[in-house]
Amino acid sequence: MSVLPTLLLVEDDASLRDWWCGSLEDMGYSVLSAGSAAEALVIARQAQAPFDLAVLDLGLPPHPNDPTEGLELLRLLILERPSLKVVVLTGQDEPAVALTAIGLGAFDFLNKPASSQRLREALARAVLFLQAEKQLSTDGQARMTLTAPIGEGVREFGEAAQEKLVRSVLADSQFNVAQAARKLGLTREHLYYFMKKFGIERASS
């Protein structure tokens, strides 16, 4: 059985952080944890603290009900560690936030409250990507050329996450494009672009 990678858990609620740490360790991950953006960045900037995955709750202090701090941390973490795979946890009914997170480089998103099983599945997908990228390196890809296939793979998954989100919001909105666009924080024209891109059509009545 292969050893699972180390991951960073960022969650400001201490009791929930402890619970997630235990749950993730039961899954086989080694866990580093942080309760704030500042703590997470300290860990990320320590060379002796390698981690390949992160689980990031976007609701962080000083304003835990506002995703701004979490989104900025996401941006900084990926700047620090470009190959990092981040699964973000977002509050319910925040599709626009999830779309922004994907645009910033999040690997996947889960709406809160997320079950252990859903997180396990999201992390398993991320591990598959990590293994594929490491195999590219083992097969002799040079450091500079490695960024191209890695980037393409991340974009492909990002598009899959975008498509999942757009389809979900359209279904919840009963294909009311104006309502779905508002939920996603998009113009109607931009939403039509996504619909055309992903081949999404209103079901025939």
Q: What is the average pLDDT across 180-192?
A: 83
The CATH number given to whatever domain includes residue 102 is 3.40.50.2300
Least confident of 96-100, 132-136, 161-165: 132-136
Asked if residue 36 belongs to a domain, the reply is yes
Pick the range with the lowest mean pLDDT from 1-5, 49-53, 174-178, 198-202: 1-5
- The whole-angstrom separation of Cα 26 and Cα 11 is 18
Residue with token string 């252990």: 116
- Which position has the higher pLDDT, 8 or 166? 8
Question: Whole-angstrom Cα distance, residue 171 to residue 177?
Answer: 10
Considering the domain boundaries, does residue 165 fall inside one? Answer: no
Q: How many domains does the chain have?
A: 1
In a domain, 122, yes or no: yes
**Residue span of the structural domain in which 87 resides:** 6-148
Q: What is this structure's pTM?
A: 0.73
In this model, does residue 48 exceed pLDDT 80? no
